[in-house]
Amino acid sequence: MLLLKNLLFTLVVPGTVAVLIPAWVLREAGEGWPARWGAPQLLALLPLAAGLANHQRCIWEFGRRGRGTPAPIDPPKELVVSGLYRYVRNPMYLGVLLILLGEALFLASRALLTYAAVWWLTVHLFVLVYEEPTLARNFGDSYARYRRAVRRWVPGKRYSG
């Protein structure tokens, strides 16, 4: 059941953020697929693949270690500090950002680059205003220790808990 909930979350939230909204942005900007693939499209495959792999690893950690989902309506029961979370507090958001930047590069789209910047700013504010205070309330001292040891956005040294 947990696997199904995480799959549903992935389809709805990141699917909307990384597929449906970018398609709408492209349509509104009058932009589309490149006529042919070149170096930028091949280079764009790197952040796209890294972002997808990152996101799936984080979903796995939420289910396996946290026994929950990334969705606020079904949060993890335990603080997730394993996997990529040992190096940075918000790897899932960074994975989605890599996907958005890869899409912008692949499609040579300034509109998608602008969307990625606005999305990241929105996520940053969400983390500051909602997510971090909620984690502090739910996980207390363990989250405080984790927060002191691991940076929010820039990967660093490994957290050993």
CB neighbour burial string for 123-154, b if at least 16 within 10 angstroms, e if fewer? beeebeeebbeebeeebeeebeebeebbeeee
Give the Cα-Cα-Cα angle 5, 8, 11 (nearest 5 degrees): 155
pLDDT in tens, 31-56: 988 878 999 999 999 999 999 999 99
The rounded distance, in Å, linking the Cα atoms of 4 and 102 is 27
The rounded distance, in Å, linking the Cα atoms of 75 and 83 is 17
**128: pLDDT strictly greater than 80:** yes
More confident residue, 13 or 88: 88
55 in Cβ contact with 135 (< 8 Å): no
